Structure 1
Amino acid sequence: MSQPWIRSARYDGLFILAPPFVALAVVGLLPPAYRATAQMPLLAWVALVVLIDVAHVYSTLFRTYLDPLRRRQRWLLFWLVPAGCYGVGVALYLGGGALLFWRVLAYLAVFHFIRQQYGFLRLYARHEPRGRGQWLDTVVIYYATIYPLLYWHFSPPRNFNWFIEGDFVQHDWAAGRYLATGLYAAVLLLYAGKEARQWWRTRAFNWPRNLLVAGTLVSWFFGIVYFNGDLAFTLLNVMSHGIPYLALVWSSGPQHQPNGRLARRGAWRGRYGLLVFLGLVAVLAYVEEGFWDGLVWREHAAAFGAFQHLPRVADATWLAVLVPLLALPQATHYVLDGFIWRRRKPN
């Protein structure tokens, strides 16, 4: 069968499907301490959190505010979303304090991560006929992400968190973990049986869809359930999410559209378009994290020396204004992502 690649077998394989498996291989080479403790080397934190995780947030700019055509078509959405996110963020911080703000943002982020996997699943299943087995594809991609989250919620405190300590509601419930694990095994067996039956009948096998499912299983299970280390979690979580997202944004830019008129527009143009793309998101990510470190966290002075001259903000009222502002790129990215990939036609 013809495989439903988004751009090409090589491009999809390297930048969308391979990251979870590469991340697992890297984790396997780490010293045991990094697989089971909260230790995180500064260089690894900068590479993973700043240059991939935060940078991928800013790549949304290339599909929204930096795209002249989309900016004209959806200008109201592009301004209402950040305004709404900031207003809600300030209200949450003032009404419930830092923990409530970060808890809501963490669950919004998790929803965004889960929906990305479902979105890729739909892209890789776009040429398959609608049938009885598609519901199982949806179930397996969702439960591949939800089961590790249930395991996390039903466990004692882990050596990692999403944003801050305690942002997820956790309760040590062993029976809940066993029930969730049993359902996980049953879903995987059903999916494997469905794929084997389909191959036996048609001799057709959707490689990108199945590699996506396998990569989702790998990154979420090993990152959250199997290993209990901050570096292991961040490697598997960030590489598996951020790199494919960056690749999707770049591959969907005007320079890859069949209409040459679009290819001459926006920040993509020219032979150095890829460098502009990666360089801009990296610089913006570094500057944002510099302000976070200088004004709020003060945890990575060695990486953000120039920002240490900023006054650290400790007043709760000022933090209620500042923290949602600094988190606004993330919140806007999470919300806008639910709109900018929708298409009227299946293709």
Structure 2
Amino acid sequence: MEQLKTSIQPWIKNSLTDGIFILSPPFIALLVVALFPVQFKNSALMPVQYWVILIVMIDVAHVYSTLYRTYFNTAELKRQPHVLIGVPLFCYAVGVILYIAGGIFFWRALAYLAVYHFIRQQYGFLRIYSRNEDHSTLLRYIDNTAIYIATIYPLLYWHFSSYKKNFNWFVDGDFVLFHVDGLLAIAQIGYLLTIALFILKEIWAYIKTRQFNLPKNLIVLGTFLSWYFGIVYYNGDMAFTTLNVVSHGIPYMALVWFYEQKKFSNNKTPSTGFMKITFSKYGVLSFVGVLILFAYVEEGLWDGFIWKEHASVFGLFSGLPSISSDTILALTVPLLALPQSTHYVLDGFIWRMRKQKQV
């Protein structure tokens, strides 16, 4: 049997690092969930230690990795000042207006913005790993359809299914639910047909070229598995959060690290002392440490001012006053959420700043 031509695989960094940090997270997360089905499938409660790892150290931390592509990067600050200044101001102003109209409108807008960001990340990885393929427009369209269907069908199931969901994206009621089983049945047919079409396309492409794009297919498979099992199969907050956060946050942080570290190693970016240390050979500890520090402070402020749920974790912030005034909440909540909303919007700009085939 002819061996796969691994030498032409379009890795971002190399097979080992891509495999560990970008391609394997959804599979590892699914394995963990599958090994403990009772705890994950219907559990609405999450142990505090597990919550810290998932939410603080991965979910919130990955948001701050955008800093290394933007505000920590003097070259980008000089190149795109209007974007990097205007986006957070715009996000905050819109957030305040939405919260004044009603807190649920703010959370709903943030939830759907987050969903769009999560979907586009999977599409972005698909395009990165497809960058060397010389396929027709039709074949690329099939790839694009597959990655979008992998994410959109579970969301349609979430919106249209009559089954009660034991999880939410941010807060209860942030998604608008319709419970229309007929539309869901049509979506399911399209979902299964897309899977079949993608598999047939890959078989045909391999027969024609004798090449198999391993990382691209792992991205597609991992997306299908993490979104289906996280939303459709397992009906629990722990399962959804694990598959959702791990599959998204770790690859994003890895991509930022790979991208910026390569630029610094090639002397394409002016090096300040902090950035030089961060993107040195062993600077990943500095990179991750700064992200976790920012995430801890943000979540501490949330817990001190708003939630009051994890005093054992955020003891430094337990003395902060709980905010009850609607006016102050309308000014404070969008401010605390500003790292997230800015991250979601800026992500649509920062990866388009340079048109290049290699990451």
- Provide the residue aligned with 1:283 in structure 2: 293
- Provide the residue aligned with 1:118 in structure 2: 123
Q: Does 1:162 align with 2:169?
A: yes
Describe the superposition over 1:204-236 as per-residue Cα deviations: whole angstroms up to 9, x where unpaired.
110010000000011100000010011111110
Write the letter of the residue equivalent to 2:317. F
- Provide the residue aligned with 1:11 in structure 2: 17
User: 1:85–1:332: 8 Å Cα contact kept in structure 2?
Assistant: yes
- Provide the residue aligned with 1:222 in structure 2: 229
Counterparts of 2:84 and 2:43 in 1: how far apart (Å)? 41
TM-score w.r.t. structure 2 length?
Answer: 0.93
Secondary structure, counterpart of 2:269 in structure 1: helix
- Provide the residue aligned with 1:83 in structure 2: 89
- Provide the residue aligned with 1:34 in structure 2: 40
- Provide the residue aligned with 2:145 in structure 1: 139
Counterparts of 1:315 and 1:122 in 2: how far apart (Å)? 46
Counterparts of 1:55 and 1:258 in 2: how far apart (Å)? 24
Alpha-carbon shift at residue 262 of structure 1 (Å): 2.8
Counterparts of 1:154 and 1:40 in 2: how far apart (Å)? 26
- Provide the residue aligned with 1:109 in structure 2: 114
Counterparts of 1:332 and 1:261 in 2: how far apart (Å)? 26
Counterparts of 2:356 and 2:289 in 1: how far apart (Å)? 33
- Provide the residue aligned with 2:308 in structure 1: 298
Secondary structure, counterpart of 1:309 in structure 2: coil
Write the letter of the residue equivalent to 2:28. V
State which of 335, 338, 345 in structure 1 corresponds to 2:348.
338
Secondary structure, counterpart of 2:12 in structure 1: coil
Q: Does 1:129 align with 2:134?
A: yes
Counterparts of 1:312 and 1:293 in 2: how far apart (Å)? 9
Alpha-carbon shift at residue 254 of structure 1 (Å): 4.2
1:242-261 paired onto structure 2 within 5 Å: 242-257=249-264, 259-260=266-267
Stretch of structure 1 that moved more, 104-113 or 126-135: 126-135
Q: Does 1:98 align with 2:108?
A: no
Alpha-carbon shift at residue 33 of structure 1 (Å): 3.5
- Provide the residue aligned with 1:176 in structure 2: 183
Counterparts of 1:266 and 1:70 in 2: how far apart (Å)? 17
Alpha-carbon shift at residue 172 of structure 1 (Å): 2.1
Give percent identity, aligned residues only. Answer: 53
Secondary structure, counterpart of 2:318 in structure 1: helix
User: 1:33–1:39: 8 Å Cα contact kept in structure 2?
Assistant: no
How big is the alpha-carbon RMSD for the aligned residues of Structure 1 and Structure 2?
A: 1.4
1:231-246 paired onto structure 2 within 5 Å: 231-246=238-253
User: 1:62–1:267: 8 Å Cα contact kept in structure 2?
Assistant: no
Instruction: Give structure 2 stretches of 5+ with no counterpart.
Output: none
Counterparts of 1:221 and 1:283 in 2: how far apart (Å)? 32
Counterparts of 1:17 and 1:208 in 2: how far apart (Å)? 7
Write the letter of the residue equivalent to 1:111. Y
TM-score w.r.t. structure 1 length?
Answer: 0.96
1:260-275 paired onto structure 2 within 5 Å: 260=267, 262=269, 264-265=271-272, 267-270=274-277, 271=280, 272-275=282-285
- Provide the residue aligned with 2:321 in structure 1: 311
User: 1:68–1:266: 8 Å Cα contact kept in structure 2?
Assistant: no
User: 1:102–1:164: 8 Å Cα contact kept in structure 2?
Assistant: yes
Stretch of structure 1 that moved more, 258-267 or 297-306: 258-267
User: 1:90–1:324: 8 Å Cα contact kept in structure 2?
Assistant: yes
Query: CA, structure 1 residues 269+258, in 2 after alignment: closer, same or farther (shift >3 Å)?
Result: closer
State which of 61, 68, 76 in structure 2 corresponds to 1:55.
61
Q: Does 1:148 align with 2:154?
A: yes
Write the letter of the residue equivalent to 1:304. F
